Amino acid sequence: MRKSLLLITLSSLASAAGPPVPARIEFNRDVRPILSDNCFYCHGPDKGHREGDLRLDLRDEALKAGAITPRKAADSELVNRILTDDEDDLMPPPDSHKKLTPRQKEILQKWIEQGASYQQHWSYEKPVKAAIPAGRNPIDHLVQKRLAEIGLRPSPQADARTLVRRLHFDLLGLPPKPSDMATWSDLSGKKYDELVSTLMKSPHYGERMAVAWLDQVRYADTIGYHSDNPHNVWPYRDYVIRSFNTNKRFDRFTIEQIAGDLMPGANQETRVGSAFNRLLLSTEEGGAQAKDYEQRMLTDRVRAIGNAWMGQTTGCAQCHDHKFDPITMRDFYQLGAFFADIKEPILGRREPGMMVLDAEGEKKQADISGRLAALQAEFARPRPELAAAQSAWERKALEAVMSNGAWLPLKPLTATSLKKNVNLKADKDGIVRGVIDKKRDERKQNDGTDTYMITARLPKGATGIRLDALKEKSPGIGLASNGNFALSEATLTVARNQKQEKLPVLLASATFEQRGFPAKNTIDGISDQKLNGWAVLGATGADQSLYLELASPHDDEKAVVTFTLSFAHDGNHEIASLRLSATTARPPVRAPDIALPDREVAAILRTPADKRSDPQRKKLAEAYRQIAPELAALRTKLAMTEKEKADFEAAAPKCIVSVSDTSKRTVRILPRGNWMDESGEVVKAALPGYLPKPKVEGRDLTRLDLAQWLVSKDNPLTARNVMNRLWKQFFGTGLSKVLDDLGAQGEPPVNPALLDWLACEFMDSGWDLQHMIRLIVTSHAYRQVSTSTRELTAADPYNRECARQSAFRLDAELVRDNALSIAGLLVPKVGGPSVKPYQPEKYWENLNFPTREWQNDSGEGLYRRGLYTWWQRTFLHPSLLAFDAPSREECTAERNRSNIPQQALVLLNDPTYVEAARTFAARILTECNNDNAGRIEWAVQQALQRQPTAEESKTLSMLYNRQLADYQKEPAAAEALLKTGATPVSPGLNKPELAAMTHVARVLLNLHETITRS
């Protein structure tokens, strides 16, 4: 569209008729775009929408129908229809709002006159590697060959400063430091290649390369739909960075992402790669229907494969055969079926995912596991020395069991938790069970404490209450990570006269008391002290009970009694499962000094000792080990180590990855894409019918087959697609401009031989990306100046032919990186969890389920590179958004490159940039010991890596002096400005001077030149 607009401008200004119609018409270059855009919609591959039974995308069909008579334009119906004045016959029909230009009509006629030869669409043909004369850079050979054909000459090489800056931005995304400029001031001989090699070895190279790939695979920190909650994927981002840094071959990179779990020798690295399959949007919306989202997820994945690897708009074939390309609906759903094995919830919260450990983490994990195993073995070993103590316990335990009959279990009426950090439920068996709420970490009121409210009726004459904490789960009877709990207070109230009246408790006792946490703490009236409660560490492996003796027998069996159980010890020291009972036996009500055994152990105890089986004996010994005073120290150690393991696992990085399920989802062709219509044929995974593919028989295809096919040498698309996008990174525009569509509606490459050569070389090199990048950046084409001449602008206004380099604004993340780097604030750490730099308050106020508040990081999290910023799909960080970063709801091959007022507001007022300016100013004042002119020169060197012109120096000096005068008059204003951001102001600096220099720094950081790679 850009081009056609310009052509029209040209013709209106100079009455030139656009580029002349070529002498020899070439179908793919000249004709297909016209037919595709104007005719294929009704006369193309989609049989469901075909008009007049005519296809123009196949030569035989077009000839048979009489639309085209080769070499006889006048006899061809197609020509008659495009030239006629009769609106009823005219093609394209007026109601399509499509209209052929005179030039297009001429091309079609000339093409028929020349024989109407067709070509297969260019991107479906195998790429052909042109022969290159020995000793020539192939890229320069092919670029210049094309330039010679159209009468243009390449531009001269840019100066060293421009090249060093260009290479830094293109390969690292960071500006060179003045010291780099000194090192690389001379790029003659081998020095240029050395510079390239040095940069490609930097850990920041992988970060730079990751930016575009993360767009293509729609990587983000949140699920995208509705509640837009987080999902754990950042290890995948680091995987991408690492893959580029280690120059992982692109074929392997591909296979790991699509089928890393299915590869022979799958390991943590390949599995994390397979997180690619999980990056799609998912929903937690209440009321969502599974089939609906099953279909959305399938189509999302097919679009992603089409976009990221094939350069095909596969999404068009969801509801009908593709109208322009030969992709059928069957192809679409068969591609989707490759992913039917992925284990995942269709609706709701994603699982936390696989633990991802680095070398240090693995060491730590091995250490903990080793210690734990040793303790467990020690704990489990036979202990004949305890036999006597055990039989004493058995007797007492049996007594306790026998007297337990006097206890009547209560039936809880309701059970709720006050803070909802624990989800509490009274189950039918009378047991109240609590589960830590998964979303608790996102809620503000979560301090790791909670209070249980349970209601029940007591039998008439009740004298005592027993509360059993039951061992149902690991690690113990409490919810804390060491299996412990701490009950701060237990009160009983009953509603009387519209007031809650307390039932006094005389005495509390328990079957076990942790040292310092006796049972009596539960009735001392203190409910909010962390260290004042009843706890059981050392005996968390068995049921433990609290006995409460009532001051007087309870007389009202109809009254609803509320049990309020407070747990004030943070870290979720609540009871996991509990049962309440009451007794009417005469007081005193006291806990036996042993825990009441569970039902199974009680049954064994009732069995006479000589009738017990071996497993029963073993069970008894185990039960005793759980409470034996002799083992208390060991048990505590075990519990602490179990807690250490649980804490380690909870804190370890996690990533949702691909796991193959043996039962696959059924995939049907959905008529018109309608998921409610289940009449369509069930399909299995298969590769698209229109592209070459291997024959596989006797088994179903898997994701591994898909991945291997994408990077097989017979696949004509992948290598071209990757090279086309790579070209854009280094020249500003792809060789085929429409990066996400190498199909009929895209653009044939301006230099097909070059794209083909790059694709072939890429495959021949073993998919070696760094090899290709080195070839590109060492070419003369890359090293040219980006300035244009009038002649060049006239002939090639958008620099598609590369007779020069291009200048373009840095990508959103790099705008940030550049400013932080110049300011000296950038924290160059690679990888890790996403970070949260300054974001305006309440920017997330419209998010819900749950509501959230962005908490700025502190310390280094504020100064990391842009690609580490938390990527919230529904509300992307506004500074990234302003500079065209995509939301990553869909795969994005090409970002807009806009120039809008919000960018000015961000660079001027976002605290990140104000802080960068004042920190830069502090550097200017402290690191450069010179007069103001000298300092300004130094500052320009830092920001732009060049000398200022005399005029620039003068302008900036004037600005400094004027602002200085203002701030000297108003030191409070200087003070205020310097408060922006978390970095402290160095106390030795004169504040008005620093504030004035901050303005110089702001000008430098806001310059178009500063944020432009040229």
Where in 594-623 is the site for another protein (CB under 8 A)?
none
Where in 779-798 is the site for another protein (CB under 8 A)?
786-788, 790-791, 793-794, 797
Between 624 and 960, whose beta carbon lies closer to another protein?
A: 960
Where in 798-827 is the site for another protein (CB under 8 A)?
807-809
CA-to-CA distance for 63 and 67, rounded, in angstroms?
6
Where in 509-528 is the site for another protein (CB under 8 A)?
none
Minimum gap (Å) between residue 179 Cβ and another protein: 25
Burial grade of 1007 (CB within 10 A; 0-12, 13-18, 19 or more): middle
Where in 863-892 is the site for another protein (CB under 8 A)?
873-876, 878, 881-882, 884, 887, 889-890
Between 574 and 741, whose beta carbon lies closer to another protein?
A: 741
Examine residue 5 and tell whether it contacts another protein (CB under 8 A). yes
Between 536 and 802, whose beta carbon lies closer to another protein?
A: 802
Minimum gap (Å) between residue 793 Cβ and another protein: 6
Examine residue 908 and tell whether it contacts another protein (CB under 8 A). yes
Where in 442-481 is the site for another protein (CB under 8 A)?
none
Tell me the window of 381-389, 429-437, 591-599, 1003-1011 that interacts with another protein (CB under 8 A): 1003-1011
Contact assessment for residue 444 and residue 467, using Cβ atoms and an 8 Å cutoff: no
Between 742 and 775, whose beta carbon lies closer to another protein?
A: 742
Examine residue 226 and tell whether it contacts another protein (CB under 8 A). yes
Tell me the window of 103-111, 219-227, 260-268, 768-776 that interacts with another protein (CB under 8 A): 219-227
Can you give the three-state secondary structure of 370-412, one letter per residue? HHHHHHHHHHHCCCHHHHHHHHHHHHHHHHHHHHHHHEEECCC
Options 980, 993, 994, 997; binder of another protein; rule CB under 8 A: 980
Between 176 and 732, whose beta carbon lies closer to another protein?
A: 732
Examine residue 28 and tell whether it contacts another protein (CB under 8 A). no
Please give the torsion angle defined by the CA atoms of residues 307, 308, 311 and 315, in that order, rounded to the nearest 10 degrees.
-20
Examine residue 841 and tell whether it contacts another protein (CB under 8 A). yes
Options 45, 336, 483, 743; binder of another protein; rule CB under 8 A: 743
Between 553 and 797, whose beta carbon lies closer to another protein?
A: 797
Options 849, 856, 941, 990; binder of another protein; rule CB under 8 A: 849
Between 371 and 443, whose beta carbon lies closer to another protein?
A: 443
Examine residue 663 and tell whether it contacts another protein (CB under 8 A). no
CA-to-CA distance for 709 and 862, rounded, in angstroms?
43
Tell me the window of 6-14, 110-118, 557-565, 820-828 that interacts with another protein (CB under 8 A): 6-14
Ranges of H-type helices in 653-751: 703-710, 718-731
Options 906, 922, 925, 939; binder of another protein; rule CB under 8 A: 906
CA-to-CA distance for 409 and 406, rounded, in angstroms?
10
Adjacent-strand bridge partners of 510: 546
Between 575 and 1001, whose beta carbon lies closer to another protein?
A: 1001
Where in 268-287 is the site for another protein (CB under 8 A)?
281, 283, 285-287
Tell me the window of 111-119, 152-160, 231-239, 897-905 that interacts with another protein (CB under 8 A): 897-905
Q: Both tokens of residue 718?
A: 């992948």
Contact assessment for residue 191 and residue 184, using Cβ atoms and an 8 Å cutoff: yes
**Listed residue (589, 501, 529, 594) closest to 553, CA to CA:** 589
Cα-only R_g, the chain: 37
Examine residue 997 and tell whether it contacts another protein (CB under 8 A). no
Between 381 and 1008, whose beta carbon lies closer to another protein?
A: 1008
Q: In what order do the strands lie in the sheet with 560-567?
A: 414-417, 450-457, 560-567, 489-496, 499-502
Looking at residue 108, its amino acid is L
Minimum gap (Å) between residue 108 Cβ and another protein: 20
Options 185, 267, 902, 926; binder of another protein; rule CB under 8 A: 902
Between 37 and 106, whose beta carbon lies closer to another protein?
A: 37
Minimum gap (Å) between residue 99 Cβ and another protein: 9
**Listed residue (408, 253, 365, 310) closest to 647, CA to CA:** 365
Minimum gap (Å) between residue 664 Cβ and another protein: 23
Between 403 and 909, whose beta carbon lies closer to another protein?
A: 909
Minimum gap (Å) between residue 999 Cβ and another protein: 5
**Listed residue (421, 414, 496) closest to 454, CA to CA:** 414
Between 346 and 621, whose beta carbon lies closer to another protein?
A: 346
Options 237, 440, 1002, 1013; binder of another protein; rule CB under 8 A: 1002
Examine residue 736 and tell whether it contacts another protein (CB under 8 A). no
Between 369 and 789, whose beta carbon lies closer to another protein?
A: 789
Give the Cβ contact number of residue 369 at 10 Å: 13
- At 808 the three-state DSSP class reads strand
Contact assessment for residue 746 and residue 324, using Cβ atoms and an 8 Å cutoff: no
Between 384 and 901, whose beta carbon lies closer to another protein?
A: 901
Examine residue 680 and tell whether it contacts another protein (CB under 8 A). no
Where in 955-974 is the site for another protein (CB under 8 A)?
955-956, 958-959, 962-963, 966, 972-974
CA-to-CA distance for 241 and 243, rounded, in angstroms?
5
Minimum gap (Å) between residue 941 Cβ and another protein: 15
CA-to-CA distance for 171 and 769, rounded, in angstroms?
12
Minimum gap (Å) between residue 824 Cβ and another protein: 19
Q: Both tokens of residue 454?
A: 């349970």
Where in 296-315 is the site for another protein (CB under 8 A)?
313, 315
Question: Diameter of the chain by CA atoms?
Answer: 116
Buried b (16+ CB within 10 A) or exposed e, 697-728: eeeebbbbbbbbbbbeeebbbbbbbbbbbbbb
How many residues in the shown chain lie near another protein by CB under 8 A? 114
Tell me the window of 142-150, 483-491, 724-732, 838-846 that interacts with another protein (CB under 8 A): 838-846
Contact assessment for residue 40 and residue 49, using Cβ atoms and an 8 Å cutoff: no
Minimum gap (Å) between residue 574 Cβ and another protein: 25
**Cα atoms in the 13 Å half-sphere on the side-chain side of 69:** 9
Examine residue 690 and tell whether it contacts another protein (CB under 8 A). no
Between 94 and 694, whose beta carbon lies closer to another protein?
A: 94
**Listed residue (458, 412, 410) closest to 554, CA to CA:** 458
Tell me the window of 142-150, 355-363, 704-712, 906-914 that interacts with another protein (CB under 8 A): 906-914
Minimum gap (Å) between residue 751 Cβ and another protein: 21
CA-to-CA distance for 852 and 870, rounded, in angstroms?
14
Between 701 and 876, whose beta carbon lies closer to another protein?
A: 876
Burial grade of 790 (CB within 10 A; 0-12, 13-18, 19 or more): exposed
Between 650 and 908, whose beta carbon lies closer to another protein?
A: 908
Examine residue 10 and tell whether it contacts another protein (CB under 8 A). yes
Options 910, 919, 938, 945; binder of another protein; rule CB under 8 A: 910
Q: Both tokens of residue 385?
A: 């020395």
Q: Which residue has the tokens 């505590």?
A: 636
CA-to-CA distance for 729 and 727, rounded, in angstroms?
5
Q: Which residue has the tokens 């290890």?
A: 235
CA-to-CA distance for 888 and 281, rounded, in angstroms?
9
**Peptide bond connecting 138 to the previous residue in cis, omega within 30 degrees of 0:** no
CA-to-CA distance for 184 and 631, rounded, in angstroms?
70
